Structure 1
Amino acid sequence: MISGLAGAFLLLGTLACDGGEVALTAKREHLEAFADMLVPADNPATLEGVALGRDLFFDPLLSADSTISCGTCHRPELAFSDGLPLSRGIGGRLGRRNTPGLANVGYLHQHLFWDGRAVGLEAQALHPIAEPHEMGGDWATVLGKLRRHPDYWPRFRSAFGLGSPDQLEASHVGKALAQFQRTLVSSDSKYDRVQRGEAVFSTAEALGEAIFFDFADDPEGPYAGLPTGECAHCHTPPHFTNQRFFNNGLDAAAHLEDFGDPGRGGITGSKAELGLFRAPGLRNVALTAPYMHDGRMATLEEVVAHYNGGGEYAENKSANVFPLGLDSVQATALVAFLQTLTDSSFVTQSIMLLR
């Protein structure tokens, strides 16, 4: 099992762990632009833990009727998204929100989910299993399955030093899933190669980069006078998110209580945070359509058009969302830049996990 996992990751890189090294879907030398991944002290990566998490991720056993897995909604070929506006759970139940991709999720150590209801991967991994509109299970039943399973129980025992099946808890499942997800590292897009001096942007991509990063703010630079996109305020490199919550002008709201989906405010109880959602990471964004928390936009062109138009009024709309004044050439260039965030090697290696 361990050698199979190592083969799937092609041993392209390593993550330090207790008693060995865990292969990553990225080469070690490609991670120099990234800060060290923050790993909880009580869940260090191990070969056994990552392998266990990988198999649990793709196993429908964790759902109430054993029909869907984490991998059903997080498909490797779509950078671990699902291509649907809203996720679908057991029995075809319609979810509340769009499924985000998981590239570099291990680096996103703050609040996860669109509304930030989980702090850290270990906590995030526990939610879908018990959600009625997702995997629809209950932890007593799921743990009963795992404690009786002839393969999984011995592996939990080995990975976490458990003495008897009754010691297996939901937290151990969350820890195994988190260990696996921390190996899903994307760092070899064209954008990354340009930053390393291994490639050069096309004219359109370079123009899009200038708009994305507001190069026009430099009055002496070559892009002076160009409209700014204001994108990097929220989508900050290297993971293209600042992990914060914003109202990006999707819906008009005369009163903050008018939002159909309360977003972050539904978790915190803060009126000022109603209608705010977490800024998603943009790595592999060209593969994770449709877009926004409710999947309402089918293409990147629609996304750019939304921001170019300045969005709808709400009292708490982000100050960075206003009419941009991009012409058609500039809007197309911005899309071209976003497409440089696609890491085809990440996708190829991730698909191999299913073999």
Structure 2
Amino acid sequence: MRHRQPGKGRSNGQVTWLAALILLAVGALALDARGGIGMLAEQLALLRTPQFEVPAGWPQPVYDFHANPITAAGFALGRQLFYDPRLSRDGTVSCASCHQQFAAFAHYDHAVSHGIGNRNGTRNAPGLYNLAWLPQLMWDGSAHNLEVQPLGPIANPVEMDAQLPALIERLRADADYPRRFEAAFGTPAIDSQRLLKALAQFTGTMISAGSRYDRYVAGDAGALDAREQAGLAAFRRHCAQCHAEPLFSDFRYRDNGLDAAPRDAGRATVTAVAADWGRFRVPSLRNIGLTPPYMHDGRFDTLAQVIEHYRSGIAAGDQVDPALRGGLPISDAERDALLAFLPALDDPAFTHDVRFADPAHRR
């Protein structure tokens, strides 16, 4: 059984575009010439607005949409802001610059994020999906709520390098944004709270739960072949302690043995606790085949390299997670099965969902 927050409908493409087109065609026949165009646009907007729904078997999310209910106008505003490079100081970098839909909203083939003036960040840009379940966000957990997460990259001098007051004034002076904010929130007033709420309506609805793995656990035995099923079994033996199903993360902070003496403080940046030095949030493995390179610093280009690290490359540092000391006893056969299974966590419907695409690119 799926659990919905009050007033919420289906998400993740439950209504097919064929059905949507049929619905619009029927609606067009019933509309008079005077009001037809506006009403069709309204229907289309509603169909393009995903609503928050907890997939079957998943825990309840951390983020609560009761205080920020999703509306067609709010979602559309958040989508526009996500893809707008004017959120950066010089108008060259948007949120989407480092979070590309085809890569499950990660930064494909970039070890670390590339920001304003082609400056390099220090960490790999993670994929954006299922964010409503994260108790903290960012690799080090420095953002404690989905609504405040954008403040980090917006202000970061090597990412978007924008001052929030100047950014708000830029949006207020725009010819279109006051109308968009009024449609979303009732008045044309633009402030940081509304900006962040709109972004949360967009990013919070990015639910990825349509992989072949999901079909398999839902009862479709043919969704995974025999080798992939063996890989799932190997995953559950060796990997699930940290990458717990169904979200494929326990959301804890761990040192996974990349370096004996980590240079990046990781979680200690936030806590100032020595034991947290070099620990990072365990990432979800959903869409793992779509989001290379891997690790917080993007040092591994392939999943084969990642698995080999856990088999034989664990550094003997003081803070290495006890579960990883000495490496994981993954056999060659299990390695091959894991490599077959992991792409079954990819969700192509999510990465091709037009509702999350750049609104400037009409499809």
**TM-score over 0.5 (shorter chain):** yes
Residue pair 1:87, 1:95 contacting (<8 A) in 2 also:
yes
Moved more, 175-184 or 322-331: 322-331
Runs of 5+ in structure 1 lacking a partner? Answer: 1-13, 215-229, 254-258
Instruction: Report what 2:251 is aligned to.
Output: 243
Q: 1:312 aligns with which of 301, 315, 318?
A: 315
Q: Which residue number corresponds to residue 180 of structure 2?
A: 155
Cα distance in 1, alignment partners of residues 235 and 241 from structure 2:
9
Query: Normalization by structure 2: what TM-score?
Result: 0.82
Query: Superposition pairs for residues 93-132 of structure 1, below 5 Å?
Result: 93-108=119-134, 110-132=135-157
Distance 1:18 1:49, change over 3 A: farther
The equivalent residue for 1:138 is: 163
Q: 1:66 to 1:213 in 2, by over 3 A?
A: same
| Counterpart contact for 1:190–1:199, Cα < 8 Å | no
Q: Report the CA distance between 1:30 and its aligned residue.
A: 8.6
Does the CA contact (< 8 Å) of 2:181 and 2:189 recur in 1?
Answer: no
Partner of 1:90: 116
Look up the equivalent residue of 2:57 and give its one-letter code. A
Is contact 1:189–1:343 with CA below 8 Å preserved after alignment? yes
Q: Distance in 2 between matches of 1:146 and 1:295?
A: 34
How big is the shift at 1:16? 6.5
**Pairing 1:269–2:272 present:** yes
Distance 1:272 1:20, change over 3 A: closer
Task: Answer yes or no: is the 8 Å Cα contact 2:132–2:146 preserved in 1.
Answer: yes
Q: Which consecutive aligned stretches of 4+ in structure 1 deviate over 6 angstroms post-superposition?
A: 14-20, 27-30
Bigger mean CA offset, 318-327 vs 34-43:
34-43
- Going from structure 1 to structure 2, the CA distance change for 1:17 and 1:59 (only over 3 Å counts) comes to farther
Does 2:51 correspond to 1:48? Answer: no
Alignment partner, residue 9 of structure 1: none
Pair 72,262 (structure 1): closer, same or farther in 2 beyond 3 Å: same
1:34-73 equivalences in 2 (<5 Å): 34-37=58-61, 38-73=63-98
SS of match in other structure, 2:147? helix
Quote the residue 1:204 is aligned against.
227
Q: Is the 8 A contact 1:212 1:334 kept in 2?
A: yes
Q: Which moved more, 1:44-53 or 1:273-282?
A: 44-53
Name the structure 1 match of 2:242.
Answer: 234
Structure 1 residue 23, shift from structure 2 partner: 5.1
Amino acid at match of 1:205: E
Shift of 1:157: 2.8
SS, match of residue 52 in structure 1: helix
Partner Cα distance (1:44, 1:344) in 2: 27
Q: Which residue of 1 aligns with 2:294?
A: 291
CA offsets 1:316-341 (integer angstroms, 9 cap, x no match):
21111132232322211112111110
* Pairing of 1:321-332 with structure 2 (within 5 A): 321=324, 322-332=326-336
8 Å contact kept, 1:98–1:294: yes
Q: Measure the CA separation in 1 of the matches of 2:330 and 2:8.
A: 51
CA distance in 1 between counterparts of 2:329 and 2:241 reads: 18
Does 2:187 correspond to 1:183? Answer: no
The answer to whether the 8 A contact 1:17-1:46 is kept is no
How high is the TM-score relative to the length of structure 1?
0.83
**Aligned partners of 1:54 and 1:270: how far apart in 2?**
37
- The Cα shift of 1:46 comes to 1.9
For the residues of structure 2 that align with 1:164 and 1:134, how far apart are their CA atoms? 27
Asked whether the 8 Å contact 2:310–2:327 carries over to 1, the reply is yes
The amino acid that maps onto 1:32 is A
Matched-pair contact (CA < 8 Å) for 2:294–2:300:
yes
The Cα shift of 1:40 comes to 4.8
Q: Aligned partners of 2:340 and 2:205: how far apart in 1?
A: 28
2:118 alignment partner AA? G
Which amino acid is the alignment partner of residue 297 of structure 1?
A: F
Distance change >3 Å, CA 57–CA 33, structure 1 → 2: same
- Counterpart CA distance in 2 for 1:16 and 1:79 is 24
| Separation of aligned partners in 2, 1:22 and 1:313 | 47
Going from structure 1 to structure 2, the CA distance change for 1:59 and 1:16 (only over 3 Å counts) comes to farther
SS at match of 1:334: helix
For residue 119 of structure 1, give the secondary structure of its aligned residue in structure 2.
coil
